[in-house]
Every structure is written in structure tokens, then in C-alpha cells.
Amino acid sequence: MLMIVFLLGIALLMLLIIKFKINPFLALIFTAIIIGFGAGLPVSKMVGSIASGFGGTMGGIGIVIALGIILGQLLYETGGTEGIASLALKKIGVKNSPVALCITGVIVAIPVYFDAAFVILVNLAKQLSEKTGIPLVRYVTALGVGLIIGHCVIIPTPGPMAVAGAVEAPMGSFVLYSLIICVPAALVGGVLYSKLTAQSFFPEQCGHEKENIDFDVEDSKDRCPGSLAIALILFPITLILIGTIAGALLDKESAIGAACAFIGDKNIALFIGVVAALFMLRPYFKRPSEEMITEAGAQAGMVLLITGAGGSFGAIINATGIGDYIVSTMQDFNVPLMILGFILCQILRAAQGSATVALVTTAAIVAPSISAVGASPVLVGLAICCGAVGLSLPNDSGFWVVNRFSGFTFPQTMKAWTLGGFIAGLTGLVIVLILSMFQNVLPGMF
């Protein structure tokens, strides 16, 4: 009966978001209430779970999401996104430009939202395709997959931040292993997959590659240099890693240990990163910083609401016992928790479109079982994140962004974007499973 209530709830959520175009925040809260009534939860417990789920999620990641969006807005406004692309092309070379664009996507997606980053960089992809003769599909897939895997796996983007908080994973370890996973997964799903399938799926674009390529990467004094943009993105991530390493090696009661723990806290690290960006990017501001921060705050508002509502939805799922039932049922079939998290996130991602909603909901369902089965919170969390990467279908706004701005048909978008993302996510899961083989050998690292 609980499974019937859960499946009907997911169907209702899909109907509200896809058919009736209800805002995901309202749809999640409404569906949580319906599931609570359907499962026979007492009203007081249902209301309390919705409030505590929302508050717990916001308490863990609210400040980080807001600061991350502000940092992304500052880089977007000052041209840091294009600067990273130019730097990657210079260092990796135009002949390997699909690789350069893929790596650019992974880096840019950390502070800048997928839709905005893709719209900015897809014109560069088209220019490169025209100059080099390399099929456009290779650039579009490389860029899109790089962006989506960075968006779904690397902190401080909202989805992975919510997952790390829900599973109570050490932030430094989560960041470190997410970086290890993202680059090879993006290269397999974004570069290798498109290279192997371009001739079969897009024959009309193939056979025009040029031997001698002359493509000047434009530099501008009015734009933030790519090296500075990358440094500003990696700065708070480095502070978090320093805090984690120092916590393992130093006495937390000592002055140095306490200082490292302070700057390594996720909220403080992101705050310091935003302050540094405000000073370093000032020469490239084209309008007052207050206007940019206010605009970022407006964007952050809805993201925070949806993320918090996802926490409420997950809290109701667990309060009803549905979460425990799903996990125990899968364990009866000997499905490891990492694979369960990946599959459940894939299903939710395909069902309702939003990667962030899928991540928050899956993490809330799976988190209570992690300690019970002795699994690594870091690896389970990363497996969940990999599950959100693929299966972008027409109920996902990102699907239509890729479709419209690349000029692909519907079937072409499915072949290039949906399948490429799925392969990248699956590759990420394989890497997570390989890392899990070292869990008993190096327990302190996970």
C-alpha cells in the first residue's frame, strides 16, 4: 500500500509540473501533503515533517546556495565564463577543441547555471565547428555533458550541496572525489561518445574536417581573464579542502587547527570567496555590484524554495516509512546502496525533469540507511549525484535549451544530449564503484 501511495504521489508530481505547469515548489509541497494523508500520517506529524524537512535542508545549505549564486553572477557579468573557454582552447589547442569545451563546461557549471552557461558558450561551439569542420554535434555534446555533470556533482551547486548535507558527508572529501569523478565521466560521455557516434547519428555533419586550422581565440581587456575566473572558482573549494585536511592532521583545539576549521567551513569558505571576487573583479564591473548581487538574490530565492521543498518531500517520504520500505526491498535483492541511490535518482530525474529535485528527494530517502548498512556517505552521495546527470527528457528545461540553441531536431537532441548525459552518469557510477573497492583499505579517506 505504501508503494502504491508513493507511485501515485510521483505520478501526481509529474502531472502538476509537466501537464499543468505548476511551480515545482508548490507542486512538491502539495504532493507531500497528499502522500502524508494517503499514508495515514497524523496531521501534527505531517505538518512537523514538512517544516523540519524544509528547515533542515535550508539550515545545512541555504547560505552556501545563496553565496554560490552570487559568485556565479559576478563571473557571468564580468565575462569570466568566456574567459575560461578562451584559456582552455589556448592550452588544449583548437584541434582538441571538443575536449577544451568539455573541460570548460565542467568548470563553468560550478558557479554558473546550466541554461545561462550553455546559451553563452554554444555560439563559440558553432564558430569552432565552422572553422575546423569538426561536426557541431561533437561540440554541443561535449559542452552540454560537461555542464550538466559539473552542475549535478560538484559543490557548491545546489543539488550536490543538498546531497552532501543530507547524507552528512565530509565536505572536503566530497569535493575531492567529485572532481576525480567529473572529468573522466564528462570526457567519456561528452567527447568519446560523440566522436564514436557522430558518423552514425549525424552523417550530414561529418567529412568536412580541415587539416590546417587558423582560429584566433579572442582576448579582451574588458573581460575577466580565464585564469582569474578559474582561480576564483577554485579558491573556496581549496579552503574547504584545507579545512578537511587540517581537521584530520591537526589538533582542533590548537590555534592553527581552529583557524583552518573556521576558513574550511563551507559557509565561511564561500563567503570569503565572494568577498575576494568582489575585489578582484571590480575592474571588469559594467554596473554597480549591488545591482548584480540583488539580481543574484532574486535567482537564489526560487532555487532555495525548490530545494527546501524537496527536503520537505523527502521528509514526508521517510516519515511514512516509504523510504525504509524502498531501501529494504532493494536490499532483499542484494542491490548495493550506491546503485540503489543511482537508480532511484535516475527514475525521479526522468519522471519530473528537475535534477535538483531528484537529488534532494533521493538523498532524503536513502540517507537514513547509510549508517545502518555501513556504507560510505561520500560514495553513496556521489552515486546519487551521478544518477541525476542522465535521462534529460522533454520535461526538463535543459533539454529544450540544448534543442533550440543548437538547432538540432528532437531525435538529434535525444541522441546527442540525453544519451550522452546518461553515459556520463553511468561512467561516474562505475568510478564510484571502483573507489568503493578501496573503502576498507583506506577507510579514513571516505
The string of pLDDT tens digits covering residues 286-297 is 999 999 999 988
Residue 203 lies in a domain: yes
Residue 249 lies in a domain: no
Distance CA 162, CA 221 (A): 37
Residue 211 confidence (pLDDT): 65
CA neighbor of 435 nearest in space, from 389, 385, 380, 387: 380
Residue 247 lies in a domain: no
Residue 44 confidence (pLDDT): 92
- How many other CB atoms are found less than 10 A from the CB of residue 443? 9
Contacts for 265 with CB less than 8 Å, ≥ 6 apart: 243
Residue 255 confidence (pLDDT): 85
What pLDDT digit, counting tens, does each position of 200-210 carry?
A: 888 888 777 76
Band the pLDDT of 440: cuts 50, 70, 90. low
Residue 75 lies in a domain: no
Contacts for 275 with CB less than 8 Å, ≥ 6 apart: none
202: containing domain: 2-62+81-210+218-224+281-445
Contacts for 248 with CB less than 8 Å, ≥ 6 apart: 444
Give the mean model confidence (pLDDT) for residues 215-239.
82
Contacts for 278 with CB less than 8 Å, ≥ 6 apart: 74, 289
Distance CA 152, CA 345 (A): 11
Distance CA 108, CA 72 (A): 9
Distance CA 55, CA 58 (A): 5
Which of 100-104, 193-197, 301-305, 381-385 reaches the highest mean pLDDT?
A: 381-385
Above pLDDT 70, what percent of the chain?
A: 94
Band the pLDDT of 420: cuts 50, 70, 90. very high
Q: What secondary structure does DSSP assign to 57-85, as a single string? A: HHHHHHHHHHHHHHHHHHHHHTTHHHHHH
Record the cell numbers describing residue 431, joined without a space.
568510478
Q: Does the pLDDT at position 120 exceed 90?
A: no
Domain count, the chain: 1
Residue 7 confidence (pLDDT): 83
Residue 417 lies in a domain: yes
Q: Does the pLDDT at position 198 exceed 80?
A: yes
Q: Does the pLDDT at position 442 exceed 60?
A: no
Residue 234 lies in a domain: no
Q: Does the pLDDT at position 32 exceed 80?
A: yes
Residue 441 confidence (pLDDT): 60
Q: Does the pLDDT at position 215 exceed 60?
A: no
Residue 262 lies in a domain: no
- Work out the angle between the directed axes of helices 97-108 and 171-186 (0-180°, nearest 10): 150
Question: Taking the complete model, does pTM exceed 0.85, yes or no?
Answer: no
Contact by Cβ (8 Å): 32, 57: no
Residue 188 confidence (pLDDT): 96
Residue 58 confidence (pLDDT): 83
Distance CA 145, CA 130 (A): 21
Residue 233 lies in a domain: no
- Work out the angle between the directed axes of helices 377-387 and 419-436 (0-180°, nearest 10): 170
